[in-house]
Structure 1
């Protein structure tokens, strides 16, 4: 991404489909397993109702991206996806060429279903591959094997204009050499985008209990930093440099929806557990929906929405969020926008200290970015700048 390219944050719509075939042991997302068939038509109607309620709050907007996440959205029928996308288009203006992404698991991929999603308007798929060896896929609790993953990647490349897939690294026993080989293989299959996440142990997950009981170990900080360095070097050498801490793309193929988050744009969240952040009556509001799918459904059917929490952000909170999100990006932050949000400038003395420590770097006179070393300790960098 060149410094001259536009960075308008855009306006996104996030749709949360909360159901999964199985709960992965590392996952702390709002996902639920149901052993009876989900009434998709009823949920689709509820999504449409909540979308209309959110439209009344945001007013007319031009939607630059839609993201169907979860859960496992590829468990949705194409007709369900079409209903939801139709509701978005009926309430807001859809920008020409808007990015419409659907997350999919390789185990729930069928060619006919993929073609149905494409016909419904989906133009980008994000596949949860996670590993390219069967032993680690089993450890991660995935329902697919490598052969199924590669089949899904091939289908996605054939049917959709754009494709991304995820891998998790810093797995037990993973060496830098093994990760480099796996990454080179992945790049060979990737079209233009990879999301590469370090395995973290999240409280409340099965992995948290197993890790605490010493049933497995993951690479320590120094080893994980080495794996991160391998990630950056290999992807850059193969034309997919990092544009965000965990995301890599060929120039122009960045996820527009995720850039809306990181550039501190506005987005509506629809569905169980979804979050939104948008400007209403001149103030940035946060919306948080009820997490339990059936409870959310009942709320929407009686009240028109499932929003149960949220807040109005003050200037300091907005500026802090802007820092935390924007410094994740290789393009960094616009210092003038920080000043506009916060009403103050960042301390030049603190910037100078962080620059001496090799943690931040200026981009011309108008922007500031975290260096690769700064990315590893980003929370500390942000805390220091925000003081």
Structure 2
């Protein structure tokens, strides 16, 4: 029997573009909601026709700002996925939201539509930091949004960004302490990175934006691990923390290299040993659906070595590590073709990785050196 399938749905629209964001997001004065609902449903049907009967274990509405979607559209997509594939009894249905009051007002309707997990883009509670990050909400709105989410949804997660310019250890300890006090089952804690093509990238190139150096960033990371562990939300992936059983099942599908279908502008998929990508610009996506019945831009076969490499790069982000035997099965390639056992032995002697039978794990001591470790243990060609 085929493994369950994860479904990603991309909603590309935002009220404004954040200066650090390199996601496929677009600001539009007007959105034809009926046309977008029809286009997303058509794109979904195309994937279902390709994939046949595959139980859906998770649905993730990402963006952009999917909390700007009409709840009726969310409900229609969930119902169509149920009709086309069938949903697992414990199907995790996540929607990303901003803490703005107008979006929070839709929480009850989104829960009624079938969303059972919400992920809120808080990023910070500090008004100066929110202004720096280009966020449109206040700290108080963020606090109210978390409380409203906990009242409306079975599971709540929210994001914070740290390792910001000028951020002190004590500032971060106070902010993280406040976040942990909400008692949510999941937190995503990201160090600020400068992505090409963003406004922050342009400022950094001119020397007008300087991130904390490596030692400071490492200290911030270490205190993050200590505080989350003490609160019962240990790291299960580089930037994600959860109570046992509260991990994002959808994202675990990515990291464990399971199959997922992606619909909507710019959405990526990995299914049928193929990589898929939709048209990114909203207008091009709509035109493609009207022309062809789907928004697909690229569909390419993934060769065994590509699949093995991707599985290793994703799986080693997890605290559970990567199952080498599973990578062999998923890629059709013997591990000698993608895994350097001698390098792993060398790194294990340094305490940076450990191997238990078929499972390779990057240790807490090694996680800040993950990129270097990947370059050594993963055979890329």
Unaligned runs of 5+ in 2: none
Is residue 330 from structure 1 mapped to residue 319 from structure 2 by the alignment? yes
Aligned residues of 2:3 and 2:54 also touching (Cα < 8 A):
no
CA distance in 2, matches of 1:155, 1:55: 34
| Equivalent of 1:313 in 299, 302, 306 | 302
1:355 aligns with 2:348: yes
1:291 to 263, 271, 280: 280
Query: How big is the shift at 1:107?
Result: 1.3
Cα 1:347–1:112 shift into 2, 3 Å: closer
One of 363, 366, 373 as aligned partner of 1:371: 363
Q: Where does residue 95 of structure 1 map in the other structure?
A: 88
- Report SS of the residue matched to 1:19: coil
Q: Which range moved further: 151-160 or 331-340?
A: 331-340
Measured at CA, do residues 228 and 357 of structure 1 come closer, stay the same or move farther in structure 2, by a change above 3 Å?
A: same
Q: Give the equivalent residue in structure 2 for 1:28.
A: 22
Which structure 1 segments of 5+ residues have no match? 1-7
Q: TM-score, normalised by structure 2?
A: 0.95
Q: Secondary structure of 1:32's match?
A: coil
Corresponding residue of 2:335: 344
Q: Matches of 2:37 and 2:183 in 1, distance apart? A: 32
Match of 2:241 among 245, 248, 251: 248
What is the DSSP-based 3-state SS (H/G/I as helix, E as strand, rest coil) of the residue aligned with 2:9?
strand
Q: Which runs of 4 or more aligned residues in structure 1 lie more than 4 Å from their structure 2 counterparts after TM superposition? A: 108-112
Corresponding pairs, count:
374
**What is the SS of the residue equivalent to 2:299?**
strand
Of residues 197-206 and 340-349 in structure 1, the stretch that sits farther from structure 2 once superposed is 340-349
Question: Following superposition of structure 1 onto structure 2, how do residues 1-387 of structure 1 map, counting pairs within 5 Å?
Answer: 10-35=4-29, 37-107=30-100, 109-110=102-103, 112-279=105-272, 284-340=273-329, 341=331, 342-345=333-336, 346-362=339-355, 364-387=356-379
Distance 1:10 1:371 in 2: 29
The alpha-carbon deviation at position 111 of structure 1 amounts to 5.0
Normalization by structure 1: what TM-score?
0.94
Mapped contact 1:9–1:260 kept (Cα < 8 A): no
